[in-house]
């Protein structure tokens, strides 16, 4: 499997400067005060090792009722905080200048957290890409093809990297094999924050 841009996969190493990373982290931390990270539970009853929250009109949720997008935080019941402008600007530049994202998933990985291979297909219109921003410790990111049995490749995602899944790559299986502790000093205490922008709702 080739990770060439012809598939719709784009990796922009160091797209965010160290200063921009610090500023974005401050915005994330401020919003997490009102929308705290939660270890959500899969429909099968398994707690996720990754802690999650969301920004924007919609946030991704998983529980016994299934995977879906909801307008409110699962434990506080409050609306999700707004999406930071720097992320909206990245989406406009790299993903779609006309249709804004309405969901930003924030995943926090500690040294033990993983994310198994999966497809992002809970969104209403899969023509819109998924845009990912990495902060903190480096992740070993695994990406395959549209079939779960397709060959996979590993890519290291470092703090400040931006990754785009569009076109054919929009439905590529992907996940995080492991985190490399101590590879970044950005986040106090270590860990990785991944922010993924999506268009979850249908166009009206």
**DSSP string for 88-106:** HHHHHHHT-SSS--SEEEE
What residue ranges of the chain have pLDDT lower than 70? 1-6
Which pTM was predicted? Answer: 0.94
pLDDT at 177: 98
Q: Minimal CA–CA distance to 50: which of 104, 106, 102, 103?
A: 106
Provide the CB-side half-sphere exposure for 154 (13 A, CA): 8
CA distances from 50 to 13, 18, 93, 105, 183 (A): 23, 24, 29, 12, 18
pLDDT at 5: 58
Assigned CATH class of 5-198: mainly beta
pLDDT at 3: 54
How open is the CA angle 61-86-80, to the nearest 5 degrees? 30
pLDDT at 29: 98
pLDDT at 2: 44
pLDDT at 1: 41
pLDDT at 63: 94
> What single string gives the DSSP state of each residue in 140-153?
EEEE--SSTTS--E
pLDDT at 204: 78
């Amino acid at each position: 499997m080739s990770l060439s841009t012809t598939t719709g996969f784009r990796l922009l190493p160091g797209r965010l400067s160290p200063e921009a990373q610090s500023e974005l982290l401050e915005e994330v931390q401020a919003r997490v005060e009102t929308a705290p990270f939660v270890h959500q539970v899969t429909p099968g009853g398994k707690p996720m090792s990754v802690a999650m929250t969301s920004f924007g009109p919609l946030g991704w949720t998983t529980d016994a009722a299934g995977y879906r997008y909801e307008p409110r935080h699962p434990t506080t019941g409050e609306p999700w905080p707004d999406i930071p402008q720097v992320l909206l600007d990245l989406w406009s530049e790299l993903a779609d200048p006309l249709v804004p994202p309405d969901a930003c998933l924030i995943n926090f990985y500690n040294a033990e957290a993983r994310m198994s291979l999966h497809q992002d297909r809970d969104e209403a219109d899969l023509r819109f890409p998924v845009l990912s921003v990495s902060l903190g410790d480096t992740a070993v990111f695994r990406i395959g093809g549209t079939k779960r049995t397709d060959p996979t490749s590993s890519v290291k995602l470092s703090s400040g990297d931006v990754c785009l899944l569009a076109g054919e790559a929009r439905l590529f299986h992907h996940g995080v094999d492991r985190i490399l502790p101590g590879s970044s000093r950005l986040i106090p205490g270590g860990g990785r924050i991944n922010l993924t922008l999506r268009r979850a709702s249908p166009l009206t």
